[in-house]
């Protein structure tokens, strides 16, 4: 069930304290699951279809964005029958380039970071303008960053209202709210920030910008999944999840899928509700699929295009 556009004030005191020992124990168990080869092959295809291929560098050029868009839709060139990725994610000035490269009928979504990514240090009006411009240029999704300074200062109303304002500015585009969990210091803060974002209208909650060393981890992602689960139990509405940064190996990605299925259920195992923000992951998935298809022989990384 999709989330309604109506937001309501959330009582921040309701965010439950996180059982850190329990989270650590559950997180460790997800990494011990044994996955059969046939299930692994299906899971790798699923992972590939959940990746947001991303280029968010100061040296980005239209040509680099065009190449990224081509790779997103032509993974089957490497191995026949592969799915496309979920989306390409670019800075706002390159949304038009991505839209032209993909065309209007492509199933691949265009995501644009906005709101002063990665710092979030823009005025609210500036954030709204950047969001509206990205959507107007063809973005299907907007990845915003919360104001971590305001959050850590305890100004939760400001964070809530800012997210709600950007959600409104998105129009029909879906909103992914980046918490930058590496800067939130505690799992209790991660849970509270997740609750605020969800109740303010986020369509997805996302761990990280990928611009700081501490990015997605299984314990942090589990805490965020539990916030989504609790909200779903109370409202019946679904919210998506996107771990980003630090997930570069297929084995780890498959552990994440196990965690999602066991925490939220199989309904979340599609790119409509779960994404990976990890471009380097795509090449490792391709290598693992090629190994299975060839009966155990690894391909060299040089056979796959670099992002």
Catalytically annotated residues: 143, 206, 242
Tokens of 180: 């930058």
What is residue 244's DSSP assignment?
B
What phi and psi, each to the nearest 5 degrees, are found at residue 130? -65, -40
Tokens of 98: 């991505």
Residue 93 to residue 62: CA distance in whole angstroms = 9
Q: Give the position of tokens 């295009």.
A: 305
Pairing mode, strands 141-145 and 109-113: parallel
Residue 98 to residue 31: CA distance in whole angstroms = 36
The three-class DSSP label of residue 86 is coil
Strand partners of residue 142: 112, 175
Pick from 47, 167, 173, 49: nearest CA to 107: 49
Distance (Å) of CA 152 to CA 20, 126, 147, 198: 20, 22, 9, 18
Residue 170 to residue 128: CA distance in whole angstroms = 9
225 CB burial (10 A radius; 0-12, 13-18, 19+):
buried
Q: Give the position of tokens 């305001």.
A: 150
């Amino acid at each position: 069930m999709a989330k309604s556009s109506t937001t309501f004030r959330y009582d921040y005191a309701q965010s439950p304290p996180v059982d850190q020992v329990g989270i650590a124990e559950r997180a460790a168990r997800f990494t011990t699951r044994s996955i059969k080869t046939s299930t692994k092959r299906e899971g790798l295809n699923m992972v590939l279809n959940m990746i947001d291929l991303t280029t968010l560098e100061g040296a980005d050029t239209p040509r680099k964005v065009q190449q990224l868009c081509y790779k997103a839709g032509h993974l089957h060139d490497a191995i026949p029958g592969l799915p496309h990725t979920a989306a390409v994610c670019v800075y706002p000035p390159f949304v038009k380039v991505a839209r032209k490269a993909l065309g209007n009928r492509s199933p691949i979504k265009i995501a644009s970071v906005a709101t002063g990514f990665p710092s979030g240090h823009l005025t609210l009006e500036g954030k709204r303008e950047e969001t509206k411009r990205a959507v107007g240029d063809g973005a299907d999704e907007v990845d915003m960053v919360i104001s971590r300074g305001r959050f850590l200062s305890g100004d939760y109303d400001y964070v809530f209202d800012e997210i709600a304002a950007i959600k409104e500015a998105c129009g029909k585009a879906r909103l992914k709210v980046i918490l930058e969990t590496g800067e939130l210091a505690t799992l209790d803060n991660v849970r509270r920030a997740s609750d605020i974002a969800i109740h303010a209208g986020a369509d997805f909650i996302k761990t990280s910008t990928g611009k700081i060393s501490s990015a997605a981890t299984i314990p942090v992602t589990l805490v965020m999944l539990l916030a989504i689960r609790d909200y779903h139990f109370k409202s019946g509405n679904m919210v998506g999840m996107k771990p980003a940064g630090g997930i570069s190996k297929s084995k780890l990605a498959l552990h994440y899928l196990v965690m999602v299925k066991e925490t939220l259920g199989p309904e979340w195992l599609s790119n409509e509700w779960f994404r990976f923000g990890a471009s380097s992951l795509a090449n490792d998935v391709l290598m693992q699929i090629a190994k299975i298809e060839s009966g155990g022989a690894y391909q060299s990384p040089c056979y796959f295009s670099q992002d």
